[in-house]
Copies of this chain bind each other. A is one copy, B any other.
Amino acid sequence: MFSTKTSPVTVKNINPKVRNCVYGVRGEIVDRAHRLEGILKADPGLHPFKEIVYCNTGNPQSLGQKPITFFGQVLALLENPNLLSKDGIHRLFSSDAITRASELLELIPGRAPGAYSHVQGIKGLREQIVVGITARDGFPAKSEDIFLTDGASAGVHIMMELLISSERDGILCPIPQYPLFSASIALHGGTLVPYYLDESRDWRLDIFDVKKQIESYRDKGICCRAMVVINPGNPTGQVLTEEDQREIVDFCKKEGLVLLADEVYQENVYVKTKKFCSFKKISRSMGYGDSDISLVSFQSASTGYYGYCGRRGGYMEVTGFNTAVRDQIYKLASLSICSNITGQILTTLIMNPPKLGDESYHTFIKEKNLILSSFANCAKKLEDCFNSLEGVSCNKVEGAMYLFPRIHLPNKAIQAAQFELLQPDEFYALKLLDSTGIVVVPGSGFRQESGTWHIRCTLLPQEDQIPSIVSNIKSFHQSFMKEFRD
């Protein structure tokens, strides 16, 4: 008689979509870095470096960036609203932080920031966010369109879950891309339809190439449902021109595509020649309203100058869907009941920071500018560093938080990588880690044009660390080339 018992869970009998999903940013290299960190603590002399320098994820507060004082004060007060009625809080909190916390508390039903909120987030907070969006864009926004989410990732997963029924549903994605998108598409069983950003033209997008890709995938029976645009670009750091944005909007409208706009780096622009424009602003300024184009804009409290990654705040602004589809998005959001309230409050604050005249304003502006100028300086110094290296070229970082230099690896290095069953840029990144303690992400984690190799390096290290990082990268690269030069 056969056993009728269920087989134990193995990788072979789990959901194949889970198995096939790859999420490159937090992989083998990070694990190795953590192990090395442990070894360094136990035996500081064992490696040629004293500490691990994490340039792999956009996680500024982990690298010593101080939180914005005003945000931290308001959050603390709303974590424990009892404080608001205590004597002595004026010694510890600025008067506008106290006022803001009191005002926000009134917007929270039952004055209870510990309670579940509305599925989309607290209505009064969404109304504040809408004020921020309207001020940014000069076009109205609606609180019903805002879904507060745990970071931007949660919103992206919801949209992929909604739009993808099978591998016949395609999602246009820039290559290189933030791997959350490829991972989420794979997990939901869809097809990533790549469009390539042109490295030789500062990672510009060519709408004709996008159109060709749609058509070529259509011939394979894959129908594109949506187009992902990351602006400012991650990992590529370019900022779209308004002209390019208008082309994209027209294209999505004409093709009937949902435009999924990852706009989480909207505060991170470092060049005077460019500024951030939301796709909502662009489309509205072209005269397109809610019924003309389906557009989802993602924003996050993890990015910007604030970098409150661990608080998992964010929102998506969902426009241009009919009520029945909107109800389905609502249902998907309701499966996590609501996003965390700390994140909801923080997202409200980043969209409505202190204003001229507020007690905290000058401190706030000073802190914000210090952070953003540190990012810009770091970008410049690392750009120069990479561009000075043999066989390395790095486009100008216009925005976001990353450098994405191309490494022309010698054949000998490529062969050595193949021998170790590694991608060549993974091999390079592991060698860099082992020699210097610097952690970067191999370009293969983001996908890249075939035969090209990159690394992604954040521009977040504190400024006093930059000289040693630059000198370590330089001497590592020299000895790497010495070893592997063809």
Contact = CB atoms under 8 A, between A and B. Distances in A.
Nearest to A150: B150
Contacts of A215: 4
Interface in A282-320: 294, 302, 307-312
B89 A80 contact: no
Given A15-B162, A180-B335, A294 B225 contact: no
Contacts of A26: 119, 334, 337
Q: How large is the interface on A (under 10, 10 to 19, 20 to 34, 35 or more residues)?
A: 35 or more
A157 B337 CA distance: 12
Interface string A166-180: 000000000000001
A15 B161 contact: yes
A59 B335 CA distance: 16
Interface string A147-189: 0001101100100011111000000000000001001100110
Contact of A62 (B23, B112, B150): B112
Interface in A248-289: 254-258
B294 A10 contact: no
Contacts of A255: 5-6
A465 interface: no
A231 interface: no
Contacts of A112: 61-62, 64, 310
A57 to B, nearest CB: 7
A212 interface: no
A75 B83 CA distance: 12
Interface in A19-72: 19, 21, 23, 26, 57, 59-64, 67, 69, 72
Contact of A11 (B8, B117, B324, B339): B324
A357 interface: no
Nearest to A3: B256
A114 B67 contact: yes
Given A79-B342, A82-B72, A328-B14, A115 B61 contact: yes
A82 B64 contact: no
A87 interface: yes
Given A80-B73, A218-B4, A255-B5, A10 B307 contact: no
A111 to B, nearest CB: 10
A76 interface: yes
Contact of A115 (B117, B163, B188, B310): B310
Contact of A57 (B9, B116, B294): B116
Contacts of A331: 18, 21, 23
Contacts of A450: none
Given A157-B335, A328-B18, A80 B87 contact: no
A16 interface: yes
Contacts of A64: 110, 112
Contacts of A325: 9-11, 14
Contacts of A339: 150, 312
B225 A6 contact: yes
Given A9-B322, A310-B338, 9 more contacts: A7-B256, A9-B162, A14-B163, A63-B110, A67-B80, A88-B91, A116-B309, A153-B336, A311-B342
Which 10 pairs show the lowest CB-CB distances between chains A and B?
A62-B115, A76-B80, A6-B256, A310-B341, A72-B80, A312-B340, A61-B115, A116-B309, A76-B79, A61-B114
13 contacts: A9-B225, A9-B294, A9-B321, A10-B325, A14-B328, A15-B188, A18-B162, A59-B115, A76-B83, A86-B91, A116-B309, A117-B310, A311-B342
Interface of A: 4-11, 13-19, 21, 23, 26, 57, 59-64, 67, 69, 72-73, 75-77, 79-80, 82-83, 86-89, 91-92, 109-110, 112-117, 119, 150-151, 153-154, 157, 161-165, 180, 183-184, 187-188, 215, 218, 223-225, 254-258, 294, 302, 307-312, 321-322, 324-325, 328, 331-332, 334-343
